[in-house]
Amino acid sequence: MNLVTVNVDSIRIGQPLPFSLRDESGVLLAQKGFVVDSQADLELMIGRRSNLFIDVSESESHHRAYVGKLHNLVREDRSLGQIAGTKISSSDLASPRDTAGTSEPDWLDLQEQTHAMLRDNNPESFRTRLDKLQAQLSRHSRLNPDGTLFALIYLSSTELRQYSATHAMLVSVMCSLAAREVLKWPDELEATLCKAALTMNIGMTELQDRLALQKEAPSPEQIRLVKQHAARSVSLLEQLGVTDPSWLEAAFNHHSNIPGPLAARGQGQRMARLIQRADMFAARMAPRASRAPASPASAMQASYFDENRQIDEAGAALIKAVGIYSPGSFVRLSTNEIAAVIKRGANTTTPRVAILINRTGMPTGELIVRDTSQAEFRIVSGVAHRDVKVKINLERLLVLTKLPVSDRLW
């Protein structure tokens, strides 16, 4: 273990711990995510100990925060005594490194940022975190929309870890692309829409993560809390300083099942409908401990039709922006090859793909890019993530999402 002292004063009462707490021998006192309910509980945990510790090797983001703090002290020409005695606080650990200025997003880092933001009950730090996160997601979705979709859809389809954070990011990015590329909403409205999508479920964040891991059916109390979460989200957002009426209206109505064109709705209701369609897509596609996920293609098609089985304007905008076969999903070609979708195509059903499994059922050594608009490589079906029995090199596939359309590698 690599134990370092944590500043006890920085442990926030009533909030999930962003790290596991240990004693000087490394014995676990409280798991990451444990909530210290009161100052008395914290004092009881400390007991006669002079210090509490964390193992920075348990989390990459924690390790980065600690090393970064040491580097800052060295640059400031602090004494060796100060450097050796440095303590790391929860604020250091809850605020991962800034990826806004980098060209390559760290998706697990952004997932950690979202996880921390959704649990922050301090109005000042909450808005700072939210604004920073929304700006980063917007930047990455503009620079490389295919790579952004690939990473988030892949994460959403393959793991349960920090489900609420990944779900919020994916819904926000999908709404952003539909608003910008299809509906042509102004930038200011797009930014508000994305923040509403990121915070729509803030009233049930802990419950949402718990239900993703829960094998049994939701209890009556859990069902009651789910039904009340929109109103609770609005209440929490108001406590956190959100005053924008459209944002609050969108969060409150993001589960409303009211069909009809967007033009007949107010601004908040238009945002709510777009969020509702994207939320439906992401929820159907995500795995649960209690059930297998739907394929991205079937999840997207379910969002295309409204409650009257008519084409939904918001759902259609999402499909035009993301594609029926969206980056991060898997497909089977007419050649019987299985491929990962890496780039959206000229229309919603003809993306670019990278072959993972050849026609004989063997994994490919080199990734071969195909254009599915060509008849010999047309898509015949979607393939669920759980049915692709090969190890995915995410970094290699993300590089392919940047290929210009003119690069014909097939």
Residues 6+ apart with CB under 8 A from 13: 36, 37, 38, 39, 42
- Residue that the structure tokens 């076969």 belong to: 325
Spell out the residues 6+ positions from residue 122 whose beta carbon is closer than 8 angstroms to its own: none
Phi, psi of 178 (to 5 degrees): -65, -45
CATH of 107-322, picked from 3.30.70.260, 1.10.3210.10, 3.40.720.10, 1.10.540.10, is 1.10.3210.10
Task: Give the pLDDT of residue 97.
Answer: 43
pLDDT for position 410: 36
Q: Give domain limits for the chain.
A: 3-93, 107-322, 330-400
The pLDDT tens digits of the residues spanning 106-156 come to: 888 899 899 999 999 899 899 999 999 999 999 999 999 999 999 999 888
How far is CA 77 from each of CA 4, 5, 63, 194, rounded to the nearest angstrom? 21, 21, 21, 42
Residue partners of 130: CB distance under 8 A and separation at least 6: 117, 195, 198, 199
User: Taking Cα atoms as reference points, which of 59, 57, 58, 48 lies closest to residue 23?
Assistant: 48
H or E stretch covering 54:
strand 52-55
d(CA 195, CA 12): 25
Instruction: Tell the residue number behind the tokens 């003119």, with chain if given.
Output: 406
- Classified as helix, coil or strand, 397 is helix
Separation between Cα atoms, residue 98 and residue 61, nearest integer Å: 11
Which single residue is written with the structure tokens 């602090």? 78
State residue 154's pLDDT score: 87
pLDDT at 58 (0 to 100) = 57
Q: In angstroms, rounded to a whole number, what is the distance separating the alpha carbons of residues 248 and 263?
A: 19
- Helix, coil or strand: residue 383: strand
Order of strands, sheet of 21-22, starting from the edge strand that comes earlier in the sequence? 3-6, 52-55, 21-22, 28-30
Sequential DSSP letters for 295-327: PHHHHHHHHHB-TTSSBPHHHHHHHHHH-SS-T
Q: Which residues of the chain have pLDDT under 70?
A: 1-2, 4, 6-10, 12, 14-16, 18, 33, 48, 50, 56-103, 405-410
Q: Which amino acid is at 405?
A: V
Contacts of 203-207 with C-beta under 8 Å, sequence gap 24+, read: 203/228, 203/229, 203/230, 203/231, 203/232, 203/233, 203/234, 203/235, 203/236, 204/229, 204/232, 204/233, 205/118, 205/119, 205/164, 206/16, 206/119
Whole-angstrom distance, CA of residue 173 vs CA of residue 122: 25
With left for phi above 0 and alpha for psi between -120 and 50, is residue 196 left, alpha or beta? Answer: alpha
